[in-house]
Amino acid sequence: MINVLLACNAGVSTAMMEKKIAEEAKRRNIELIVNAASVSRIESFVKDNDIIVLGPQVRFASKKIEKEYPDIPVYVIEMADFGMMRADNVLDNILRVLSK
> Which residues are known catalytic residues?
8
Under 8 Å between Cβ of 49 and 3? yes
Helices in the chain by DSSP H: which ranges?
Answer: 12-27, 62-68, 79-83, 87-99
Laid out side by side, the sheet with 32-38 consists of 32-38, 2-8, 51-54, 74-76
